[in-house]
């Protein structure tokens, strides 16, 4: 049984394999050990993302833990997942349509017990190693960009880097409204938004959140979707490129899942699931 429904995994895997460049045979006699198929390794990495276990727990006779690490490093250097995320957003825009009038943005703290390049003392977990991700979504909660940082970095310090990820959906035809909580209620944040030519709806400090929640709740829901992935909820990767690899892969799966769920009511295709509620 796949780690995610086959209606999500199959198209993501097929498009991912199509983006990989051809690998030439460099052995002079062509008799080296056969390379493990990319599809097998990709499924193993998806399982590691979903269940959060170590590479050794997911390794078997078809793919070793070392192969999983090497292939993940190779694909990170190629930047294939970034292109796949752009393609997924383009498909969502063509079929459903991104709600770019409102852009909720917020950060989330998770555990990082192994430490690493993007781990720091968590202010909410007795200074244990933690990871912060700052994410911006469209008005329906589809992730548009994410930035990883140590847990002790302030949310407002990641605002500029998070807004820079909107290049995947540019150019914007109008000035969208960025919805932020009270942690961004500072003049430097307003200056950053003005530099990106974006409007702001920032919560006021001292006012209870339910009264002024507005349209910011969708990014909290998207953070909850990402926390359903074991390797995101409790990150044991130490290198930044590995953390970004799994964050990007999780955002791609969330985007495709939302695409299928929304298109289920308006489109029909051979592999259409019986129910729009995908788990």
Tens of pLDDT, residue by residue over 118-170, are 999 999 999 999 999 999 999 999 999 999 999 999 999 999 999 999 988 87
Supply the pLDDT for residue 213: 61
The pLDDT of 234-257, averaged and rounded, is 96
Question: In the chain, what's the furthest Cα-to-Cα distance?
Answer: 72
More confident of the two residues 172 and 201 = 201
Residues 25 and 114 in one domain: no
Residues 6+ apart with CB under 8 A from 86: 168
Q: How many angstroms separate the CA atoms of 36 and 161, rounded?
A: 37
Name the domain boundary from 34, 49, 80: 80
Length of the chain: 279
Q: How many angstroms separate the CA atoms of 116 and 79, rounded?
A: 21
> Tens of pLDDT along 17-47?
999 998 877 777 766 778 899 999 999 999 9
Residues 111 and 230 in one domain: yes
Number of domains the chain contains: 2
Q: What angle do CA 224, 228, 233 make, to 5 degrees?
A: 90
Residues 190 and 240 in one domain: yes
The pLDDT of 236-262, averaged and rounded, is 96
Residues 136 and 215 in one domain: yes
Residues 75 and 134 in one domain: no
* Residues β-bridged to residue 182: none
Residues spanned by the domain of 58: 6-80
pLDDT at 54 over 70: yes
Structure tokens at 33: 């050990």
Residue 162 domain-assigned? yes
DSSP 8-state secondary structure symbol assigned to residue 182: G
Q: How many angstroms separate the CA atoms of 54 and 39, rounded?
A: 19
Confidence tier at 3 by pLDDT (50, 70, 90): confident
Return the CA Rg of the chain.
20
Residues 171 and 229 in one domain: yes
Residues 33 and 107 in one domain: no
Structure tokens at 185: 């209620």
Residues 76 and 103 in one domain: no
pTM score above 0.75:
yes
The pLDDT of 178-200, averaged and rounded, is 92
């Amino acid at each position: 049984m796949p780690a995610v429904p086959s209606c999500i995994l199959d198209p993501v895997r097929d498009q991912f394999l199509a983006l990989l460049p051809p690998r030439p045979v460099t052995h002079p006699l062509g008799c080296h050990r056969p390379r493990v198929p990319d599809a097998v390794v990709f499924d193993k990495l998806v399982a590691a993302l979903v269940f959060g276990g170590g590479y050794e727990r997911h390794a078997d006779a078809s793919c070793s833990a070392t192969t999983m690490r090497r292939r993940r490093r190779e694909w990170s250097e190629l930047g294939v997942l970034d292109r796949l995320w752009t393609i997924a957003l383009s498909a969502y825009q063509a079929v459903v349509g991104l709600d770019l009038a409102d852009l909720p943005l917020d950060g989330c703290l998770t555990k990082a017990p192994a430490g690493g390049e993007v781990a720091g003392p968590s202010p909410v977990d007795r200074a244990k190693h933690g990871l912060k991700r700052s994410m911006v979504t469209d008005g329906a909660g589809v992730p548009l960009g994410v930035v990883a940082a140590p847990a002790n970095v302030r949310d407002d310090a990641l605002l500029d880097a998070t807004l820079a990820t909107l290049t995947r959906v540019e150019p914007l035809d109008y000035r969208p409204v960025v919805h932020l909580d009270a942690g961004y209620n500072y003049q430097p944040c307003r200056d950053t938004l003005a530099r990106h030519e974006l409007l702001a709806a920032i919560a006021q400090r001292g006012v209870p959140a339910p009264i002024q929640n507005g349209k910011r709740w969708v990014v909290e829901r998207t953070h909850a979707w990402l926390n359903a992935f074991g390797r995101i909820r409790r990150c044991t990767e130490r290198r930044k490129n590995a953390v970004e690899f799994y964050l990007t892969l999780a955002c791609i799966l969330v985007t495709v899942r939302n695409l299928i769920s929304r298109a289920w009511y308006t489109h029909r295709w051979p592999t259409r699931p019986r129910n729009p509620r995908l788990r």
